[in-house]
Structure 1
Amino acid sequence: MSRPLRWVVVVVGSAVVFFVCFGLARADPFGWLPQEDSDAVAVAAGFAGAMTAALGLAGGWWAGTAPTGPAATPLPERPVRQKATASGTSQISQAAGARPAGPVEQEATARDDSRIRQSGGDDRSGP
C-alpha cells in the first residue's frame, strides 16, 4: 500500500473512531457521565479525543514507514577471463568492470620490461 493511501486510511479511521467512541460515551450504558448535558458532552468528547489520539499515534507510525515491495532483482554476475603474453615494453591490464563480477581469472606471461596489472580477482602470472 502506498504512503499517501496509508495516510488516507489513518485520517478516515481516526474520524470513524472519534464518532463511534463519542456515540458510545453519549449512550452512557453504565451511567458514569454527569447528569448535566453540557458536562456529559464534554466528557464524551474528551474520551473520544483520547481514543482518536491513540489511534492517530499508532496509525501515524504505520503510515510514515516506507512501504515494502518486492525485492530488487540482483544483477547477474559475469565472469572475466584473460589470457595474454607481453614482451618488450608492452602492458597487460585487466579490470573486472562496474557490474558485479563473477570469477576473475587472468593468465598472463611477461618478458623483458613489460608489465601486468589486474583489478579484482586473483593474479595468476606465468613465468
Structure 2
Amino acid sequence: MITENISNLLSKINWDYNYSEKELLSLINKKNDFSNQRLSLYIKSLETFTWQELVSLWGLEECNNLYTDKIRKGLFSNKIREQYDGIFNLLRNKTLSYTKRSPEDLEKFKSTLLFNRRNRTKQRVF
C-alpha cells in the first residue's frame, strides 16, 4: 500500500519516468540491486529530496549501501556532493573534515542527522 506521503515523494521524481508509482516503489524496495535504473533513481532522489524524505523513502541502511563513488560522481552539484560526503562519512564512522565549522555546528549537525518522527525529538548519532 502506498501512503499519501510516499505518493507525494514519488510524484516529485516521476515526472520524467514512464513508470507507475507501484513500479517505482518496487524498484526502490529491491534491496542490494545495483541496476542502472535503480541507481539513476537514487541519484535523482539525492538531488531532489531532503535528508528526512530520502531516509523515509529509501531507508537509512539502503541509503548508506547505495552511496558509492559511482553515485557520488553522478551527482550534478558539487555542493550536494560535499553535503552527502559529510553525511555518509559520518554514518560510516570515517574522519570528517569540518575546518570551517565550529564545534557547536558540528554537534548540531550530528544531533539532527537522525531523528525520531513520532516523538519529534532529536537523537544523537553517537
TM bucket normalised to smaller: under 0.3
Bigger fraction of residues in helix: 2
TM-score with structure 2 setting the length? 0.18
The one of the two structures with greater contact order (alpha-carbon pairs below 8 A, sep at least 6) is: 1
TM-score (norm 1): 0.18
**Of the two, which has the highest radius of gyration?**
1
